[in-house]
Homo-oligomer: A and B are copies of this chain.
């Protein structure tokens, strides 16, 4: 863990204000420029962008150059506003909608995680898009896809298969984009759901850093939302779980998605929710960045979204900054000169090996005794988490700036 670090990055998951992601079907770069102007105005330094897989690769043998050109044009437009770009490859899943090409659905039904031909096609796609976007100087990361575990159960897989799938694709990204971060992303059932066929180990072991996505409708808002400690620290909790489980103690964690969904976080509470959420993670020594979901609301003329997806934007579709955007701007301004990472951290010991005992994942889920213990231990500053086998490993603890380990029986013991 570096004692000094780069400034924490702040960004937005880019949801086009006009036509949502269907705007890829006829990209108007000026519309994107107008959106990027909004995002730059509050001090964000990056956007995460989401091409639609079946638009770029409608047939396994056809990767449409024009759509790749659209993607790079969008990236270049972001650069005009000083915004760096992270690209997600396989969308795949966006706000409850799956975009899957005809060559893996219905009459061609094949699991994209396991079918050899599908995997070959996806590898071709990942290679082509990675190559194209990595040539842009403002691209800093490529993620395999947005929460690809949402593509299950429609695409069957097992823990082993989905890990291998992601591992192989990370290799494809690295081979074709050696100078950018190669990343994997999963929503939090990977961390909390015992039977879920995607492992948090894939998140902490594959790629160049760990990404976490924090959504308070997963249980924490029912505990004490909208502004209670379990709710506003959930992002930090995931960051700590990720940090605890990484084999490399210096591995960074990117809070790649966090948002303030209705009705869990009412409009009146949104600004405070932003402030407290950011405060709970900002001084984590390994934090890479915070990327809000999402940039712009979804136009109400678009139907069939879950209600909570419409109003997640920092900005309205009419480019009005919402209170939470101003709160986020304040957070960014407050740490412009950098934030000193926590120098001496307190850790609590997990009750089981989070890496191996995946059938016990529910024991760390929101509302579990462990989660409750962590929230209590984090009342002042977010507590670190340490795996049982590493609780006495002074080298590991030092590498993570942990100076004190608390266990369930004692309030904490100082390290020798």
Contacts and interface: CB of A to CB of B under 8 A. Distances in A.
Interface string A358-374: 00000000000000000
A97 interface: yes
A120 B118 CA distance: 33
Given A55-B25, A67-B25, A301 B62 contact: yes
A105 to B, nearest CB: 6
A19 interface: yes
A61 B102 CA distance: 22
B22 A62 contact: yes
Contact of A19 (B62, B98, B117, B151): B62
Contact of A106 (B22, B66, B100, B304): B100
A304 B108 contact: yes
A4 interface: no
B303 A25 contact: no
A150 interface: yes
A339 to B, nearest CB: 38
A59 interface: yes
Nearest to A60: B303
B107 A98 contact: yes
Contact of A102 (B67, B97, B102): B97
A131 interface: no
Nearest to A153: B106
B117 A304 contact: yes
Contacts of A100: 105-106
Interface string A42-71: 000000000000010011111010110000
Given A59-B304, A303-B60, A304-B60, A66 B26 contact: yes
Nearest to A97: B102
Given A96-B108, A97-B108, A304 B103 contact: yes
Contacts of A121: 303
Interface string A117-153: 1000100000000000000000000000000001100
B61 A302 contact: yes
A98 B102 contact: yes
A36 to B, nearest CB: 23
Interface string A148-178: 0011001000000000000000000000000
A363 to B, nearest CB: 28
A81 interface: no
Contacts of A61: 301-304
Contacts of A25: 25, 55, 58, 64, 66-67
A20 interface: yes
A156 to B, nearest CB: 13
Interface of A: 19-20, 22, 25-26, 55, 58-62, 64, 66-67, 93, 96-100, 102-103, 105-108, 117, 121, 150-151, 154, 301-304
Given A61-B301, A61-B302, A97-B108, 18 more contacts: A19-B62, A25-B25, A25-B55, A25-B58, A26-B66, A59-B302, A59-B303, A60-B303, A60-B304, A61-B304, A62-B301, A62-B302, A96-B107, A97-B103, A98-B102, A98-B106, A103-B303, A103-B304
26 contacts: A22-B58, A22-B59, A22-B62, A22-B64, A25-B25, A25-B55, A25-B64, A26-B66, A59-B302, A61-B301, A61-B303, A61-B304, A62-B302, A93-B107, A96-B107, A96-B108, A97-B102, A97-B107, A97-B108, A98-B107, A99-B102, A100-B106, A106-B151, A107-B150, A117-B304, A121-B303
